[in-house]
Amino acid sequence: MRLTYILSLFLLTACGNVNPPVKVFEPSKLPLDKIRLPQGFRIETFAERIKNARSLELSPNGTLFVGTRGEGKVYALKDKDGDFRADTTYTIAKGLKMPNGVAFRDGDLYVAEVSRILRFENIEDNLANPPEPVVIFDNYPTETHHGWKFISFGPDGKLYVPVGAPCNICESEDKVFASITRLNPDGTGMEIVQRGIRNTVGFTWHPETDELWFTDNGRDWMGDDEPACELNHAPQDGMHFGYPYCHQGDLPDPEFGDKHSCDEFTPPVQKLGPHVAPLGVEFYTSQQFPEKYQGRLFIAEHGSWNRSKKIGYRIMMVKLEGNRAVSYEPFAEGWLDKGDV
């Protein structure tokens, strides 16, 4: 079953008026019984037929905003009767260029295209008749290779926006590539805060320290088992995480590795699997799960595309002691069944 066609919730057992709202939920025919979870958990379908879904943002009022990549659309889903299933879907925008990233702040929805950041103001009062977006920033590169963006507001109130490398492996004269940037909610003050990051499409902040944690997708075409994708920690601004010179903290790049030693860069906290393509990452801080899950990092692994034996297609957990990873294990798996997705 394709993850891009379904949004799932885990439940502990215990540009103008684009489209009118439509009912989106029908009884699921997906083989959810194949998904393996810890004892006491179950998985249910929240919404189906949300094609090419990538990033999710849940507002305080319970509206789930959904960004897409190839589909070019942004959706809003509402569960109006509280049964943990979406009743209605709204198309907020269409015809956008890879609107992967969505973020919500002070009643407004922010959407990241390849080169622009849009703001849909007072969106929850206008789901059926969305306003024209305000373009708050339009000076990111137009390169589409790793051009889709995850976005999120940090504890400092600023919007964090990554810019992926414009290639599999290369040096670029434009320093904004392979970085994480941030800007004010009105689009001013854009600055680069972290470098040497090939393609991050998931980051979050520690609930106690407010320090940045993020995943990074490793380069391709170094074989099935190298390099590992990464979970990284940035306790301060201005750090460099190695790309394109060093991968996984200790593996020099065969083309660029002679220019800098791996010792010059910040290594990952956890090496993830090779080519697992990690996307979203989040600290668990809610109360539904047992106590042992508090503070664990959950990582969604999209899964490999160029490995002879597929890997990923799962949700992994990382347990931390301080800033050190002490375990990396599956929470939910089964989307990859005998080599098929």
The two tokens of residue 72 are 């070019």
Residue-level pLDDT at 39: 95
Sign of the dihedral through C-alpha 252, 181, 64, 298: positive
Given pLDDT bands bounded at 50, 70 and 90, which one contains residue 16?
Answer: very low
227, part of any domain: yes
Residue 229 has pLDDT above 80, yes or no: yes
Claim to verify: residue 134 and residue 171 sit in the same structural domain: no
The two tokens of residue 67 are 């960004």
102, part of any domain: no
pLDDT tens readout for residues 45-84 = 999 889 999 999 999 999 999 999 999 999 999 999 999 9
Per DSSP (E only), the strands in 197-323 are: 203-205, 212-216, 228-234, 239-240, 246-247, 251-252, 270-274, 278-283, 297-301, 314-321
Claim to verify: residue 198 and residue 302 sit in the same structural domain: yes
Claim to verify: residue 122 and residue 166 sit in the same structural domain: no
Total domains in the chain come to 2
The two tokens of residue 88 are 């209605």
pLDDT tens readout for residues 168-212 = 999 999 999 999 999 999 999 999 999 999 999 999 999 999 999
Respond yes or no on whether the N-terminal peptide bond of residue 244 is cis (omega within 30° of 0).
yes
Residue-level pLDDT at 294: 97
Residue 1 has pLDDT above 50, yes or no: no
Host domain of residue 16: 1-94+113-138
- Find where tokens 């009643």 sit: 107
Section 146-170 average pLDDT: 98
106, part of any domain: no
Enumerate helices (H) and strands (E) in the chain, giving the number of each: 0, 26
Single-letter code of the amino acid located at 73: K
